[in-house]
Amino acid sequence: MELRITDLAMEKIAPVLNKTPNRRLVLMFDDGVSPYSVTAEGAMQNSLVVLIVEENQPLLPWFDLEIDSNYGKIPVKSYAKDYLGEHMILDVTDFGGMVISSEQGVLDDTVVVRDGTTMGH
């Protein structure tokens, strides 16, 4: 399983990722399962979030699988792999939003970037 992040997508992620040193990317569904989710309990939304956390923030037990990317290993929740593709691409749409797609088609065309550095402590 892998994720390729296009240069255009990284331009949207970089301001949050590079705000301070020692930050990393996490890919998650905003499903209410982890301290980094803002979805109300039981709401079960399926939107994908590119979460930016500090390297020392806790990821286990929630993010227990890593996928390959062109920006290093990216933690995900292992049960989410059933909803992700083997070869995913994170890109920017013609309208400036972010989209993640795979060989299966569009997985989410409303991907957001979230600064999670103040969450989960």
HEC letters along 34-90 = CCCCCCCCCCCCCCEEEEEEECCCCCCCCCCEEEEEECECEEECHHHHHHCCCEEEE
Q: What is the arithmetic mean of pLDDT over 63-73? A: 96
pTM over 0.75, yes/no: yes
Question: Does 116 score more than 80 pLDDT?
Answer: yes
Higher pLDDT, residue 37 or 109? 109
User: Any idea which fold 2-115 has?
Assistant: Hypothetical Protein Aq_1857; Chain: A; (2.60.300)
CA distances from 1 to 90, 94, 96 (A): 14, 26, 26
Instruction: Supply the pLDDT for residue 35.
Output: 84
* Bond into 61 cis (ω within 30): yes
Q: What is the arithmetic mean of pLDDT over 51-64? A: 94
Quote the tokens at residue 91: 């890109």
Q: What is the arithmetic mean of pLDDT over 60-74? A: 95
Identify the band that residue 47 occupies on the pLDDT scale cut at 50, 70 and 90: confident
d(CA 85, CA 18): 27
Instruction: Supply the pLDDT for residue 40.
Output: 56
Question: Does 41 score more than 60 pLDDT?
Answer: no
Percent of the chain with pLDDT over 90: 75
